[in-house]
Amino acid sequence: MKKSVAIITTIAALVIGLSACGGNSSSDAAADKKQESSQSTQAKPADLTGTWKQENPKDKDNYQEATITADSIEVNWVGKDSKDLYWSGSFTAPTSAGDYTWTSKGNKEKLSGSLLASQDESKDFKYTNGEITYKVSALGETTTVHLKKQ
């Protein structure tokens, strides 16, 4: 009798185990469908062209604003009654989705004509989570500027 109970228990365990492995449950089917969907609609690279405004100025009336075109970036110091060039350089658009960094090569001709322009030969920019950041040094102080698209 004890052998019969052991055999029946073993068979029941095997049947339950095999039925769990054999079928495609509704949650498995949903997961498969979601994976197929994400593969067919690949995330696109961010479009960084347009106007970007500093989100972290020390003074709301004095901030930086950038304009990005297909192949250039220009950053200006903006005041109540003024707009002065800080950076003018190259831009290469991202080719894949996600975070993106690029090194902009300065336009020496434009930069040399502005008293408030950076004198760096190149400047590193980073795009992440809808924001562009870069370092600015002026009057012995370095800060990270945070730009949001307008």
User: What is the C-alpha to C-alpha distance for residues 32 and 108, in angstroms, rounded to an integer?
Assistant: 54
Nearby residues of 113 by Cβ (< 8 Å), 6 or more positions away: 85
Q: What is the pLDDT of residues 53-96, one digit of tens each?
A: 999 999 999 999 999 999 999 999 999 999 999 999 999 999 99
Q: Is residue 61 part of a domain?
A: yes
Q: Determine the Cα–Cα distance for residues 34 and 47; give it in Å rounded to an integer.
A: 26
Task: Give the integer Cα–Cα distance in Å for 39 and 43.
Answer: 9
Query: Residue 7 is part of which domain span?
Result: 2-40
Can you give the CATH number for the domain in which 119 is found? 2.40.128
Q: Closest Cα to residue 88, out of 67, 64, 70, 57?
A: 67
> Are 137 and 103 in a shared domain?
yes
Is 138 found in the same domain as 72? Answer: yes
Q: Is 79 helix (H, G, I), strand (E, B) or coil?
A: coil
Provide the whole-model pTM.
0.73
Q: Identify the weakest region by mean pLDDT among 26-40, 44-58, 69-83, 104-118.
A: 26-40
Q: Number of folded domains in the chain?
A: 2
27 shares a domain with 6 = yes
- 13 C-beta neighbours (distance < 10 Å), count: 10
Residue 120 lies in a domain: yes
